[in-house]
Structure 1
Amino acid sequence: MGPPYWCRTMLCSICVQFFLQETLEKHHECLKKQRDAVKYRLKKLATRQTEITKKSSVIKESVIRKYQEIRAILDEDLRTTLSHLEMEERATVSALDGMMEKNCSLIQDIEQDMARLTVVLEQADKEPDAMSFFLYPEHQDMEAVDRVMDVLSRTDPSSVSLDEAKAEQILSLTNNMLLLICSQTPIMKTLIKSYSSEVCLDPETAHPKLVISHQGDSATYTDTWQQLQDLPGRFDTTLNVISLQAFKFGRHYWEIDVTGKTYWELGVTYPTIPRKGTTEDCWLGRGDDSWCVEFFEGEYTAWHGRVPHQLPFTKRFSRIGVLCSFPAGLLTFLEADKMAPLFSFCAGTFTDCLHLALCPGHDHSGTNARPIVICNAASPTSDL
């Protein structure tokens, strides 16, 4: 005969309680391990943040020192060059001063002779018979002429000059130096261009009023609605087109030619950007899926998540660079000629692959008819 019912019930209750307690303890231990793992990761992230900040500071200080050294060398060379030029200038000016003094002295002597002759002439008018007494011998006139000719020959202005050959050589060398510096600057140009990634536009995403070139390197607005297949990925309201290629890691750079255009938008987008309907998220930069810079009516605006950032530029740029860095979570728009940053988005971590995205805009009565062109386009048949 087994234990009574109440005993069995108590034992069962104790077992359940023990099981629950053991389960809760295991769960508590699991949560503790998870918390410790997250705390450890947080500590590693903070350490990494400190390391990157320190490393960036060291790099910036090193770059500053190099620029200071370059500036010091150029300043010293400029001082030396100007010193030589100034010494030569002082010497030639001094030589001309000496010549001018000789001519001034001669003028004084001539004027003194002229004054004496004036006195003689006045006396001759009063006593004509005495004129012969004051006549100058002919040889004195010849001596005066010879003296003047001698001074004139020894004070020829053309005999004094700067070393024009040296001046030309200095100008040539400085011009060569300038060309060399220009070929190496901006320094970031060479580096950023090394991140160039070829892309071509995907015609199957283009709005029906966009004509995509055969090479996939340009998009042009047309007022004619083209009879194209209504694919799921095609924009049907906004004048957008995105690249065939998508990028998930690394650093990438593209240059887009917007010469002659009065309206355009360009940027990057996740493939999840809405393509259909009139929702604002279909516009580049208006939703959380895309980032862009817009040029409209002479003003530049950076967009993301419906938030506009007015940019302080009025110049109409001809080429815009787009630099995307997955490791840094950074998206930077640049004026491509000088590599001057226009605006940067610190996106943190990109959660999906990115496509280059373009909008050439309406033609605005012909004022915006030119295409928007990718300068480092790939062949449409190139591998993704």
Structure 2
Amino acid sequence: MYGFKCIFLMKSRNPLISMGVLCFLSARRKAQFKKAWRDAPLYPGDPLVFAANVTLDEATAHPALLVSERGRRVTWQETCQDLPSSTQRFSSIPCVLGQLRINSGRAYWEVEVGDMQSWDLGICRDNVTRKGAFIMSPQNGFWAIRLYDGDYWALTSPETSLPLRERPLKVGIFLNYEAGDVSFYNMTDGSHIFTFPQNTFCGVLRPLFRLWSSDSGSLTICSAEGECTDVIHKPTLQVK
């Protein structure tokens, strides 16, 4: 009966009515698809993957990055802060790590990227190089994807081009430590972006975030409840 009514309305002579019904059905189908996708196990037959409570570790943030008070948003600023030197802090590449340390099990989090033009998202080993020049690749302990100047890449070696059907406004990151799987999803349309070839992880892994320039805007980590709002504050000079 519902389908019959929809067909009847879409054949209406009034184009506004037809367009409204089409938009309603499209939004309804997308909402149903996203709910089914979110509720489904990441791997067939496995338990559901629960969202991790990821916040940013201010002590690791490059001096050009501002971390919000609740640790869920990072923003680029033009002038680097005068912060104490620390072995934990990235000094050459504007990165920041998540507080979450993973050495077993599964974890999932979402990051709102909005209309930013450049960013890197993924995971890395806790003991990666943070000083001087280095290349982000699995060989160096980084598993990440990148948006740069409108093009998407997986940071394999060499890099892999990622042709996406729809620009993601929010990216989902899925990690299965024992299986050696890292996958990325476009949470705007629920599509798969990339899965790195199977790895054998050892040691602690942490969420990774990178900004590129003052045009990058902000990256915001969504809470486990799905909220993506936060406020910015200037970090203290205390070394954690």
TM-score by length of 2: 0.75
Q: 22, 37, 45: which is aligned to 1:188? A: 37
2:85 maps to amino acid: D
**Which residue in the other structure is 2:144 paired with?**
292
Q: Is the 8 A contact 2:178 2:201 kept in 1?
A: no
Q: 163, 173, 186: which is aligned to 1:335? A: 186
Superposed displacement of residue 176, structure 1: 9.7
Q: Is the 8 A contact 2:51 2:224 kept in 1?
A: no
**Which residue in the other structure is 1:24 paired with?**
none
Q: Distance in 1 between matches of 2:76 and 2:110?
A: 20
Superposed displacement of residue 235, structure 1: 0.6
Segment of structure 1 superposing worse, 343-352 or 316-325: 343-352
1:199 maps to amino acid: V
2:169 maps to amino acid: S
SS in 1 for 2:38: helix
Higher strand share: 2
Q: Is the 8 A contact 1:239 1:359 kept in 2?
A: yes
**Which residue in the other structure is 1:265 paired with?**
120
Q: Is the 8 A contact 1:217 1:377 kept in 2?
A: no
Superposed displacement of residue 194, structure 1: 4.8
Higher helix share: 1
Q: Distance in 2 between matches of 1:188 and 1:346?
A: 22
Q: Distance in 2 between matches of 1:184 and 1:240?
A: 36
Superposed displacement of residue 319, structure 1: 0.7
TM-score by length of 1: 0.48
SS in 1 for 2:107: strand
Q: Distance in 1 between matches of 2:200 and 2:221?
A: 26
2:168 maps to amino acid: F
Q: Distance in 2 between matches of 1:228 and 1:377?
A: 31
Q: Distance in 2 between matches of 1:219 and 1:179?
A: 31
SS in 2 for 1:341: strand
Q: 217, 221, 233: which is aligned to 1:374? A: 221
Quote the RMSD (CA, aligned, Å): 3.3
Q: Distance in 2 between matches of 1:275 and 1:253?
A: 24
Per-residue CA deviation, residues 238-269 of structure 1 (Å, 9 max, x unaligned), is 00100112112222111111112111011100
**Which residue in the other structure is 1:204 paired with?**
59
**Which residue in the other structure is 1:50 paired with?**
none
SS in 1 for 2:62: coil
Q: Distance in 2 between matches of 1:219 and 1:286?
A: 24
Q: Distance in 2 between matches of 1:301 and 1:223?
A: 26
Per-residue CA deviation, residues 62-91 of structure 1 (Å, 9 max, x unaligned), is xxxxxxxxxxxx9xx96xx59xx8xxxxxx
Give 5+ residue unaligned stretches, structure 2.
Answer: 9-20, 43-47, 231-240
| Seq. identity, % | 24
Per-residue CA deviation, residues 79-123 of structure 1 (Å, 9 max, x unaligned), is xx59xx8xxxxxxxxxxxxxxxxxxxxxxxxxxxxxxxxxxxxxx
Q: Distance in 2 between matches of 1:176 and 1:332?
A: 31
Segment of structure 1 superposing worse, 242-251 or 285-294: 285-294
2:64 maps to amino acid: K
Q: Is the 8 A contact 2:124 2:208 kept in 1?
A: yes
4+ aligned runs moved over 6 Å, structure 1: 175-180
Q: Distance in 2 between matches of 1:254 and 1:217?
A: 11
Q: Is the 8 A contact 1:298 1:316 kept in 2?
A: no
Q: Distance in 1 between matches of 2:199 and 2:66?
A: 35
Q: 197, 203, 210: which is aligned to 1:359? A: 210
Bigger relative CO (Cα 8 Å, ≥ 6 apart): 2
**Which residue in the other structure is 1:54 paired with?**
none
Matched residue count: 209
2:151 maps to amino acid: E
Q: Distance in 2 between matches of 1:203 and 1:219?
A: 9
Superposed displacement of residue 274, structure 1: 0.2
Q: Is the 8 A contact 1:299 1:313 kept in 2?
A: no
Distance 1:259 1:342, change over 3 A: same
Distance 1:340 1:177, change over 3 A: closer
Q: Distance in 1 between matches of 2:147 and 2:27?
A: 33
Query: Which one has the largest radius of gyration?
Result: 1
